[in-house]
Copies of this chain bind each other. A is one copy, B any other.
Amino acid sequence: MTSATSSPSAWSPSATSLLVTGTIGIDTVETPSARAERVLGGSAAYFAAAASRLGPVRLVGVVGDDWPAHHRTILEGLPGVDLRGLEMRAGGKTFAWGGKYLANMNERETLFTELGVVADAPPKVPTAFHDSGLVFLGNTHPAVQIGLLEQVPNRTLAVADTMDLWINIAHDELVHLLSKVDGIVLNDSEAMHLTGIRNAVTAGRRILGYGPKFAVVKKGEHGAVLVHRDGVAVVPAFPAEEDMVIDPTGAGDTFAGGFMAHLARTGRTDLETLQAALSWGTVMASFTISSFSLDAVARATAKDLDERYRRFAAVARV
């Protein structure tokens, strides 16, 4: 097994297994024109749906015993999603989230957040997953992320997501997490919040000072910037027409899923591969926004994905 500091070329085929930790949620989403009630959501669900389109993915998460059976059916129907790390906690309530998008579909209000089992002890990484090579730590308290990370000692690459809340209330733990991961994925507003720097490139550069090799600064409809020790890459979002945008929920998580899964399947983490991975993240996000829940990502055929990738490469060619 290779250590976390090995060079990309040291990867073994078995080290490319991909693990995601995060939430499985019950989402209720309102948009100006439609509403989806108690649909499958959560960062790990979105991530896994996207990642599974490119290769196998191991999911670690926890639900309550109120978890709808048809949500499990959806996840089980995704080829390549290994659910042995999905814990159903008796007597617990599944994480539930309600949000409402404003008319421009870029701003949203959170209507409610019911943490349920997510507020209790985090799930354990099952022994069968301890040898995972790539780890993506979905957004949660950074101390929990560190605890999950330590259960995957043979990882070659760990990437974490975070959010404003932890920058506010767990800043020191977040900085500690940053010293332990290889990459961080966060929104431009979060990067600014963490660093006090509005410029996405410079904010990303500052974050590298905390330890990671790279930072992916997501800008929603404006794409993303990758700031890496070895250089910079920038990718626009897929130029979606207004009527293509049904529900942006999960776009960032599926971006991360496509991004990480491309690294997993290539077994490489050099700058050039990370740059290509940005495009796969973008392609996955472009499907996600075009439906409620993870329907569109789950439904897209390999041909659909390839066509969207080619179309993206054509419209974004410089």
B236 close to A199 (CB less than 8 A):
no
| CB closest residue in chain B, given A103 | B198
A198 close to B236 (CB less than 8 A):
no
- Residue among B197, B201, B234, B239 making CB contact with A225, cutoff 8 Å: B239
A315 close to B236 (CB less than 8 A):
no
B315 close to A231 (CB less than 8 A):
yes
Which of chain B's residues have a CB closer than 8 A to the CB of A200? 221, 239
- A199, A221, A240 interface centre (most CB from chain B within 10 Å): A199
Bound together, the chains give a CA A317 to CA B240 distance in angstroms of 19
- Residue among B106, B234, B245, B312 making CB contact with A236, cutoff 8 Å: B234
Interface 1/0 per residue, A235-247 and B, CB below 8 Å: 1110111110100
Q: What's the minimum C-beta distance from A121 to chain B, rounded to whole angstroms?
A: 41
A86 within 8 A of B: no
CB neighbors of B among A297-318 (8 A): 312-313, 315-318
Q: What's the minimum C-beta distance from A315 to chain B, rounded to whole angstroms?
A: 5
B239 close to A232 (CB less than 8 A):
yes
User: With A222-B219, A235-B236 in contact, do A241 and B315 touch (Cβ < 8 Å)?
Assistant: no
Query: Which positions in A face B, CB cutoff 8 Å?
Result: 103-106, 197-202, 205, 219, 221-223, 225, 231-237, 239-243, 245, 275, 278-279, 282, 312-313, 315-318
- Residue among B201, B231, B245, B318 making CB contact with A313, cutoff 8 Å: B318
Bound together, the chains give a CA A232 to CA B238 distance in angstroms of 10
* Those 3 A-B pairs whose CB atoms lie nearest each other, nearest first: A222-B222, A202-B242, A199-B242
A198 close to B234 (CB less than 8 A):
no
Q: What's the minimum C-beta distance from A240 to chain B, rounded to whole angstroms?
A: 7
B106 close to A241 (CB less than 8 A):
no
Which of chain B's residues have a CB closer than 8 A to the CB of A317? 233, 275, 318
A239 close to B245 (CB less than 8 A):
no
Q: What's the minimum C-beta distance from A126 to chain B, rounded to whole angstroms?
A: 37
User: Quick one: copies of this chain in the complex?
Assistant: 2
A318 close to B235 (CB less than 8 A):
yes
Q: What's the minimum C-beta distance from A200 to chain B, rounded to whole angstroms?
A: 8
Bound together, the chains give a CA A222 to CA B221 distance in angstroms of 9
Q: What's the minimum C-beta distance from A178 to chain B, rounded to whole angstroms?
A: 20
Which of chain B's residues have a CB closer than 8 A to the CB of A240? 199, 201
12 more contacts with CB within 8 A, not counting A201-B242, A223-B236, A313-B318, are A103-B198, A199-B240, A199-B241, A199-B245, A200-B239, A223-B223, A234-B236, A234-B237, A234-B316, A235-B316, A275-B317, A278-B318
B315 close to A232 (CB less than 8 A):
yes
Q: What's the minimum C-beta distance from A10 to chain B, rounded to whole angstroms?
A: 26
- Residue among B223, B232, B243, B275 making CB contact with A222, cutoff 8 Å: B223
Give 10 A-B contacts (CB < 8 Å), ordered by A residue: A106-B198, A197-B242, A199-B245, A202-B241, A205-B241, A222-B222, A222-B223, A223-B223, A234-B236, A312-B318
A239 close to B198 (CB less than 8 A):
no
Which of chain B's residues have a CB closer than 8 A to the CB of A199? 105, 240-242, 245
Q: What's the minimum C-beta distance from A225 to chain B, rounded to whole angstroms?
A: 6
